[in-house]
């Protein structure tokens, strides 16, 4: 019998609620707290599901901590609020999994560097980069592990309905954090990120384009094999992740297009950008628990 | 529409939005001569750089003939432009300095204008704040 680890979620918006749905199915993590700053539909939903709730933000969680301490806290608020949340949570000895683009802790893209992140047990804050980063950096890495990249650029296209207040407030942080992570863990000399928020009705599924510029002529067959292997790894925790069209090779440019279909846990399946972020955060926490128990 | 008594401010963006049909390849020399002519004609706001604004250079949208900084320096530092005229650019990726919002008094607006945030990523050019040029966000 596996003993589940307790977790708190800060931020009852789109991302926090989607994460809650996934946590409820987890064999390793049990969500016990939902933390918001007002009595919102997200808080009410969590309360109905039997979670303890705070409508007084992080202070409410701290005040009630001893009633129900947790090992993991997921922050699904905003970059500006995150530093304060992180400090208070880490002081209590919990591990902070940061779903905002604050990037206080090391970047974590599970199929790219989860082992490296987990190997440092002193890490108390892990940053999940951004939804666009989770969807695209594995593809950048799939190419850069074959041959060096002088530049990689990603264009993440997401449905307007899936972009909540916190995400909109953090577009600049999205751009900067994603660009930095494309270089530092994607393996390109230079990174650039572009987000397109599409208001079309019905909403469009998340689609991402990844442009890689290689130093030398691309080794097409090796790159195709590497991409296929990486897509398979992604599908282990995001089943709706798939290539659309074949990668395009044009001199030194390799262009890859992917589509991310969500599980429809909270918003409908077009909102793959929620799933890929919350699935990556949950997977990180689950891996930590699994390793500890084996 | 009755426009009598209304103050109309011309904002020319042919050297920014007009970059799109030119695939962002307008030369620096052309930008300088066109902006000088616009300035001499009394156009108060002249927008320059990549068609997608600052930081627009990309595989997706195209790489311009010159960098944002080269275009802006080339236009702003022309002697005829460094004075009453302002050069501005479309926001593409804002920077992070904390000195904003700030109030800019400028005659063509009639009254002081509060600029909520600057329009350039610090990686594009930090020097812009020290210029006669004032970045405006719209």
Helices (H), B20-129: 28-40, 68-76
Q: Are residues A142 and A257 in the same domain?
A: yes
Report the candidate in B66, B62, B61, B33 with the shortest Cα–Cα distance to residue B49: B66
Radius of gyration in angstroms for the set of CA atoms belonging to chain A, rounded to a whole number: 19
Phi-psi region of A98 (alpha: psi -120 to 50; beta: other; left: phi over 0): beta
Contacts of A172 in chain B (CB under 8 A): 93-94, 96
How many other C-beta atoms are found inside a 10 Å radius of the C-beta of residue A157?
18
Q: Look up residue B67 and give its two tokens.
A: 């960098």
Mean pLDDT value of segment A25-32: 96
Contacts of B60 in chain A (CB under 8 A): 153, 155, 194, 209, 211
Q: Are residues A242 and A279 in the same domain?
A: no
**Angle ∠(A101,A103,A107) on CA atoms, nearest 5:** 105
> Which of A153, A172, A175 is facing B60, going by the closest CB pair?
A153
Q: Is the preceding peptide bond at A202 cis, omega within 30 degrees of 0?
A: yes
- Give pLDDT tens digits for A153-201: 999 999 999 888 777 878 878 888 999 999 999 999 999 999 999 999 9
Residue A134 pLDDT > 70? yes
CA distance A236 to A114: 14
Does residue A247 contact residue A255 with C-beta atoms inside 8 Å? yes
Parallel/antiparallel/unpaired status of strands A241-243 and A253-260: antiparallel
What is the per-residue pLDDT for B112?
Answer: 55
CA distance A285 to A21: 15
Q: Are residues A159 and A111 in the same domain?
A: no
Q: Are residues A232 and A248 in the same domain?
A: yes
What is the per-residue pLDDT for A94?
Answer: 96
CA of B56 vs chain A CAs: smallest distance (Å)? 9
Does residue B134 contact residue B85 with C-beta atoms inside 8 Å? no
Of the residues A136, A170, A172, A209, the best mutation for testing chain B's interface (the one with the most B CB atoms within 10 Å of its CB) is: A172
- Give pLDDT tens digits for B85-131: 455 555 433 333 344 455 554 555 555 555 554 444 443 444 344 34
Q: Phi and psi (nearest 5°) for A30?
A: -120, 115
Mean pLDDT value of segment A122-136: 94
CA distance A16 to A35: 9
Report the candidate in A28, A195, A15 with the shortest Cα–Cα distance to residue A7: A28
Q: Are residues A148 and A227 in the same domain?
A: yes
- Give pLDDT tens digits for A263-272: 999 888 999 9
CATH code of the domain in which A143 resides: 3.30.360.10
How many other C-beta atoms are found inside a 10 Å radius of the C-beta of residue A58?
22
Report the candidate in A36, A39, A4, A37 with the shortest Cα–Cα distance to residue A23: A4
CA of B54 vs chain A CAs: smallest distance (Å)? 13
Q: Are residues A265 and A280 in the same domain?
A: no
For A156, the 3-state DSSP assignment is strand
**Which stretches of chain B are assigned E, i.e. beta strand?**
11-15, 45-48, 86-88, 102-104, 113-115
**Angle ∠(A210,A135,A215) on CA atoms, nearest 5:** 35
Contacts of A213 in chain B (CB under 8 A): 59
List the domain range (segments joined by +) for residue A106: 5-128+275-293
Q: Are residues A244 and A215 in the same domain?
A: yes
Q: Which domains does chain B have, with CATH numbers?
A: 11-130 (3.20.20.70)
Q: Phi and psi (nearest 5°) for A105?
A: -95, 180
Q: Are residues A109 and A180 in the same domain?
A: no
**Complex confidence, ipTM:** 0.81
Q: Are residues A246 and A147 in the same domain?
A: yes
What is the per-residue pLDDT for B8?
Answer: 77
Of the residues B57, B59, B119, the best mutation for testing chain A's interface (the one with the most A CB atoms within 10 Å of its CB) is: B59
Residue A213 to residue B58, Cβ atoms within 8 A: no
Residue B80 pLDDT > 70? no
Contacts of A150 in chain B (CB under 8 A): none
Q: Are residues A65 and A110 in the same domain?
A: yes
Residue A155 to residue B94, Cβ atoms within 8 A: no
**What's the distance, Cα to Cα, between the start and end of chain A in Å?**
13
Q: Look up residue A240 and give its two tokens.
A: 């709706």
Residue B107's alpha-carbon distances to A11, A172, B46, B86, B121, in angstroms, are 45, 31, 16, 11, 27
CA distance A175 to B118: 16
Q: Are residues A118 and A14 in the same domain?
A: yes
Residue B60 to residue A213, Cβ atoms within 8 A: no
Cα A77 vs. chain centroid, distance in angstroms? 13
- Give pLDDT tens digits for B35-58: 888 888 877 777 888 898 877 889
Contacts of A255 in chain B (CB under 8 A): 59
Share of chain A above pLDDT 90, in %: 83
Residue A194 to residue B60, Cβ atoms within 8 A: yes
Q: How many domains does chain A have?
A: 2
Q: Phi and psi (nearest 5°) for A245?
A: 65, 165
Q: Are residues A116 and A151 in the same domain?
A: no
> Which of B58, B94, B96 is facing A192, going by the closest CB pair?
B58
Q: Look up residue A138 and give its two tokens.
A: 């594995």
CATH code of the domain in which A66 resides: 3.40.50.720
């Amino acid at each position: 019998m596996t003993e589940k680890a307790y977790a708190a979620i800060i931020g009852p918006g789109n991302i926090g609620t989607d994460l809650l749905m996934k946590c409820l199915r987890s064999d390793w993590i049990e969500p016990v707290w939902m933390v918001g700053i007002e009595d919102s539909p997200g808080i009410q939903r969590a309360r109905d599901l039997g979670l303890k709730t705070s409508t007084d933000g992080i202070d409410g969680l701290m005040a009630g901590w001893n009633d129900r301490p947790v090992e993991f806290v997921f922050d699904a608020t905003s970059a500006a609020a995150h530093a304060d949340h992180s400090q208070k949570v880490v002081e209590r000895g919990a591990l902070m999994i940061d779903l905002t683009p604050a990037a206080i802790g090391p970047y974590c893209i599970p199929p790219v560097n989860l082992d490296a992140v987990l190997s440092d047990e002193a890490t108390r804050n892990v940053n999940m980069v951004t939804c666009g980063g989770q969807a695209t950096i594995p593809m950048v890495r799939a190419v850069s592990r074959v041959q060096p990249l002088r530049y990689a650029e990603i264009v993440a296209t997401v449905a307007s309905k899936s972009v909540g207040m916190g995400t909109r407030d953090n577009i600049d942080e999205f751009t900067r954090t994603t660009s930095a992570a494309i270089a530092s863990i994607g393996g390109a000399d230079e990174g650039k990120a572009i987000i397109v928020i599409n208001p079309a009705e019905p909403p469009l599924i998340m689609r991402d384009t990844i442009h890689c510029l290689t130093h030398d002529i691309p080794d097409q067959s090796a790159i195709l094999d590497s991409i296929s292997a990486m897509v398979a790894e992604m599908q282990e925790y995001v089943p709706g992740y798939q290539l659309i069209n074949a990668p395009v090779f044009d001199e030194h440019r390799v262009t890859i297009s992917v589509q991310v279909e969500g599980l429809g846990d909270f918003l409908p399946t077009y909102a793959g950008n929620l799933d890929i972020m919350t699935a990556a955060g949950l997977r990180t926490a689950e891996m930590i628990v699994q390793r500890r128990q084996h | 529409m009755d426009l009598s008594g209304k103050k109309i401010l011309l904002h020319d963006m042919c050297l920014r939005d007009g970059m799109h049909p030119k695939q962002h390849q307008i030369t620096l020399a052309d930008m300088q001569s066109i902006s000088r002519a616009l300035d001499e004609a009394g156009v108060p706001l002249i927008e320059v750089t990549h068609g997608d604004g600052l930081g627009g250079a990309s595989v997706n949208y195209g790489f311009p003939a010159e960098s944002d900084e080269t275009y802006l320096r080339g236009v702003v530092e022309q002697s005829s432009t460094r004075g009453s005229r302002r050069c501005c650019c479309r926001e593409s990726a804002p920077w992070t300095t904390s000195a904003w919002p700030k109030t800019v008094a400028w005659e063509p607006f009639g009254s002081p204008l509060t600029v909520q945030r600057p329009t350039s990523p610090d990686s594009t050019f930090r020097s812009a704040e020290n210029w006669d040029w004032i970045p405006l966000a719209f």
